[in-house]
Amino acid sequence: MDKATFGFDPYHILLTGCGLAIIAAYWLPRYFRGREPAASGLLILGGLAVFGLLPGVPDALNPIDRPRVWELASEFAVIIALFGTGLRIDKIRGHNLWNTTIRMLTIAMPLCILSVVVLGLGIGLSLAGSVLLAAVLAPTDPVLAADVQVGPPLEGGEHPVRFALTTEAGLNDGLAFPFVYLAIFIVAATGGVGDWIGEWLGFYVVYKIAVGVVAGCAAGWVLGRVLFTLPGDNPLANAGTGVIALAGVLVTYGLTELVEGYGFIAAFFMGLVLRRKEAEHEYHGRLHSFSSALEHSVTAILLVLLGGAIPALLGYLDWQHALLGVALIFVIRPVSGILALWGDPMSLRQRGVVAFYGVRGIGSIYYLAYAGGQMDLVDEGALWATVTFTILLSTIVHGFSAGSVVWAATHEGETRKGSS
């Protein structure tokens, strides 16, 4: 037998390091805070610490060389996260309930995209690269924003601040997709804008969004019937398994994509509609726990591996690209949000929280990996370095501050009474 007794298989080293980084990221914060730890930033840093110094590992994890692997893994995480986001929303009707969300999606998001495009052009990126970077960094993350979102089903916690941040994260992952296609159109264009703008608006904006909404609503209704109604004397919901719902999400996403709709939008609306069926049934809580555990497990592994890839991307990051990421987190998103929420009935502090806490994460990884598989990216290294830096910065800044800041904003009246 030629194999050494104590041979070090790189795959086993990867598993060991990944596990150690995840344990440390969730365990160490317990020494500093009593709440569930905001581990996302520590997961990336843990991956950097564990894998960054191992020869060959960062290059093996480099998303520039393996975009398809990163695309598929992040796609799965986002699908499950969007379904879970829709599932946790208890109430969808109310006076001006969606007003803040609509403002953030129709005003703040386009302002962020436009601002990043201008900055991207200013630091030397191509027009297509600037549009792609703006689209990639547009969505807020439904997985990493647990501290700012509404509580699980049947547990309440649906303060307007949390509702706005939850629904924004659920919808803007799908709504950013047309801008990714816009970048692809710019690269592929051989004529003027008039040759393709109609197709982009009609098919990639209107049709694909509409199909995503309709498919998600229909699938949520059908799955609700399967889980809670059929067969009448022994419905699946009584068994308490979340696997059937997971299978339903995968079927819905796959079929929506096959008919050229946006599967991310379908996944969110499926969870949203399913939650309306037998709204008080305890199965919703069990299903949410199942999907939440799954999405957090996949996300944790992805963030650790992203941290391990950082040394391979550092060479592409200069101060200008880093400054763009800083500007997005501290200036562009907050200012765009404040402008969008001008006149909103929430207090100034609450509007500031909604404006500031736009966590960037797994969705950005997916969009850039997807684009990398669809076209030749001239600035690919710079794009990956900028996105990775921005995700790291966001997870640290937002992750470690969100719990206390959002709690204060959602208990504003109680705080004032206690101090008076």
CATH numbers and ranges of domains, the chain: 38-411 (1.20.1530.20)
Rounded to 5 degrees, what angle do the CA atoms 34, 37, 42 make?
140
pLDDT in tens, 253-269: 999 999 999 999 999 99
- Residue 352: CB atoms within 10 A of its CB come to 18
Question: Are the C-beta atoms of residues 371 and 129 closer than 8 Å to each other?
Answer: no
Instruction: Tell me which of 231 and 163 has the higher pLDDT.
Output: 163
Dig out the tokens for 139 from the structure: 């969505």
Residue 415, pLDDT above cutoff 70? no
- The rounded distance, in Å, linking the Cα atoms of 139 and 5 is 48
Nearest to 273 by CA among 206, 208, 213: 213
Residue 303, pLDDT above cutoff 90? yes
149: DSSP letter: S
Q: pLDDT value at position 11?
A: 81
Q: Which residue has the tokens 């969808």?
A: 92
Beta-carbon contacts of 20 under 8 Å, excluding residues fewer than 6 positions away, are 46, 50
- The rounded distance, in Å, linking the Cα atoms of 322 and 12 is 34
pLDDT in tens, 130-169: 999 999 999 888 776 666 778 778 776 578 899 999 999 9
pTM: 0.92
What is the residue type of 44? I
| Average pLDDT over all residues of the chain | 88
Q: pLDDT value at position 278?
A: 84
Q: How confident is the model at residue 392 (pLDDT cuts 50, 70, 90)?
A: very high
Helix axis angle, 67-87 relative to 160-175, nearest 10°? 140
Residue 109, pLDDT above cutoff 80? yes
pLDDT in tens, 305-359: 999 999 999 999 999 999 999 999 999 999 999 999 999 989 999 999 999 998 8
- The rounded distance, in Å, linking the Cα atoms of 95 and 86 is 19
Strands in 83-174 per DSSP E: none
Distances from the Cα of 252 to the Cα of 113, 180, 255, angstroms = 29, 22, 5
Q: pLDDT value at position 419?
A: 46
Q: What percent of the chain has pLDDT over 70?
A: 92
Residue 236, pLDDT above cutoff 50? yes
pLDDT in tens, 46-98: 999 998 878 888 888 999 999 999 999 999 999 999 999 999 888 888 778 89
Dig out the tokens for 196 from the structure: 């393709």
Surface-to-core class of residue 364, CB atoms within 10 Å of its CB (0-12 exposed, 13-18 middle, 19+ buried):
buried
Q: pLDDT value at position 354?
A: 94
Residue 233, pLDDT above cutoff 80? no
Residue 182, pLDDT above cutoff 80? yes
